[in-house]
Amino acid sequence: MIELSRTVTLGQYIPNGSVLNRLDARVKILALVGLMIMISLINHFAAYLVCLGLAAMLLLAAWLPLGFIVNSFRPALIFLIFIDIFQVLFYQGSGPQLILWHWGIFTISRQGLLFTADISMRVLFLYLFVNLLTYTTSLVDLADGTESLLTPLRWMGLPVQEGVMVMVIALKFVPIFISELERTIKAQTARGVRFDKGNFVQRASKIGALLVPLILTALQRGEQLAVSMDLRCYRGGKGRTKLRVMRLRMGDVLAALVLLAMMVGVLFVEWHAPW
């Protein structure tokens, strides 16, 4: 039996009362932006090792089991390995290259392997940090925090609240669609269809046949949501108030300073690392 809800965890919120759960959503969003900038600036192996230590500390602060984190990487790894194979075989870099293997149009070079490994490390770290944000932040807090940070854009006349609402709905629908697909697979399995048998192409074709009912269900849910918002007289963010007012606490400031110091440490290693 295929258990998609255990492997596709994007958009899930785990309210376990951890240190990261209790932090202000705005601090976590800004931290994610800083981590993304940091990841884009490093490419040395030593810096990646220090960044791995930073990720381990964040996981400890999130109180998440290691098995859950490992399982969450499965969909990303499958897609990433598929992309990496093409990246290695068709790498076209500038300058002389050390060719390790060549056959026809396929070439494996040392530079191609290093470039692919560098890109893969960046993608995996970004995937982990984004998932940590969704694991430790509810959609309501995520929406309120994003809207608060984008307040200057509202003063310029941009529809900030509506844009945030679209983002939150998109994240919310990911686990809903996953559970809907899993329920459809179980219904087909009860009728004799085996999705866990056959080669990769056969299994992919069986799952692909479920896309049509899944898309129809998505359209129906979208229409129901639009009607519900209309019936509740939703007209955007104009005149709306908040049930909870977000306030920074001393713990949020200290956590932001500690994380900033750790990111500076990673960049220091990057700029001074010999390898």
Closest of 158, 133, 127, 132 to residue 145, by C-alpha: 133
Closest of 2, 47, 44, 6 to residue 175, by C-alpha: 6
Count: domains in the chain: 1
What is the C-alpha separation between 178 and 91, in angstroms, rounded? Answer: 35
Q: Which domain holds residue 54?
A: 4-272
Residue 131 has pLDDT above 80, yes or no: yes
CA-based torsion, 225, 226, 229, 230: positive or negative: negative
The confidence score (pLDDT) of residue 1 equals: 46
Query: Quick one: 102 exposed, middle or buried, by C-beta within 10 A (0-12, 13-18, 19+)?
Result: exposed
Q: What is the pTM of this model?
A: 0.80
Token pair for 211: 């896309």
The label of the residue with tokens 């791995």 reads 52
The label of the residue with tokens 């925090």 reads 145
pLDDT tens track for 95-130: 777 788 878 778 888 888 888 888 899 999 999 999
Give first-to-last CA distance, the chain, whole Å: 45
pLDDT tens track for 7-61: 566 667 888 888 999 999 999 999 999 999 999 998 888 889 999 999 999 999 9
Yes or no: say if 178 and 5 are a contact pair by the CB < 8 Å rule. Answer: yes
Residue 145 has pLDDT above 50, yes or no: yes
**Whole-angstrom Cα Rg for the chain:** 22
Q: Which of 138-142, 172-176, 246-250, 256-260 tops mean pLDDT?
A: 256-260
The amino acid that residue 249 corresponds to is: R
pLDDT tens track for 186-236: 877 787 777 667 676 777 777 777 778 888 888 888 888 888 888 877 776
What is the C-alpha separation between 168 and 140, in angstroms, rounded? Answer: 8
